[in-house]
Amino acid sequence: MSNYVIIPGGYHGGWWFQPVVDALRAHGHEAVAVTLTGVGERHHLVSSTNLETHIQDVLNVLDYEDLDDVVLCAHSYGGMVATAVADRAAERIASLVFLDAQIPRDGESLWELTSESERQRFVASTRDGVLTEPPPGLDPRATAHPFACFLQPLRLTQGLDPIRRKVFVWMSGWPDSPLAGMYDRVSDDPGWHVEVWPNGHDIIGEACQATIELLLREGQEDDEALTQPST
């Protein structure tokens, strides 16, 4: 049995990953998709929410649910959060799965990592400087996202080096993808397993079954690693 914690991208709550959570649980695993503060059904808590708030959201799940050997999965903006969580709680993480997600280094923000067109969209879609509205075409349950989360630089101590297994999936079907730079960052790194899928960024709408299969494989990898005799 594996423990899965899934972090959605911007504008989405944990409900977006419910088909994946249901499938993982049907295979006997523990799985939770986190709704970050100020987003989704927690959008009423937006006041003072920033990237650090979201990092603490996930650290609290690990601590209060007492989860170890976790497959930590992140989509899009969720990679900013997952990177910091893995940096601070590496002892709890068995593997990382980044699904078309940001892979920041120390001192970087999503604002810095994304494309100029995305930065322009963020600015154009905010009326008050506090929230940025979701782009067209998302799930109707998507809500505005706290703008500060995209602006705040990430602070890391040890980075992702202590994590034994790291997976990055690039969705190459998104024209002018702002995640292309993340693919370039890890595609030749032997510390990462990299896959390229021909889908767009809507991973649940376009690649839900592939995501389930990937996560099940990761859980199996972790189970096998735990049962290997030490040398």
147-164 pLDDT per residue, tens: 999 999 999 999 999 999
Under DSSP, is residue 116 helix (H, G, I), strand (E, B) or coil? Answer: helix
Q: List pLDDT tens digits, range 207-216.
A: 999 999 999 9
Model pLDDT, residue 230? 43
Q: Please determine, for residue 38, whether its predicted confidence score (pLDDT) is greater than 80.
A: no
How much is the average pLDDT of 63-88?
Answer: 97
Q: Please determine, for residue 177, whether its predicted confidence score (pLDDT) is greater than 90.
A: yes
**DSSP-assigned letter for residue 128:** S
Q: Please determine, for residue 39, whether its predicted confidence score (pLDDT) is greater than 90.
A: no
Q: Please determine, for residue 228, whether its predicted confidence score (pLDDT) is greater than 80.
A: no
DSSP3 helix / strand / coil % (the chain, rounded to 5): 40, 15, 40
CATH architecture of 3-227: 3-Layer(aba) Sandwich (3.40)
Q: Which residue among the candidates 47, 48, 76, 172 is catalytic per the annotation?
A: 76
Instruction: Note if 47 is an active site residue.
Output: no
**Cα–Cα distance for residue pair 166/218, rounded to 1 Å:** 10
Percent of the chain at pLDDT exceeding 70 = 92
**Cα–Cα distance for residue pair 2/50, rounded to 1 Å:** 30
Q: Please determine, for residue 224, whether its predicted confidence score (pLDDT) is greater than 70.
A: no
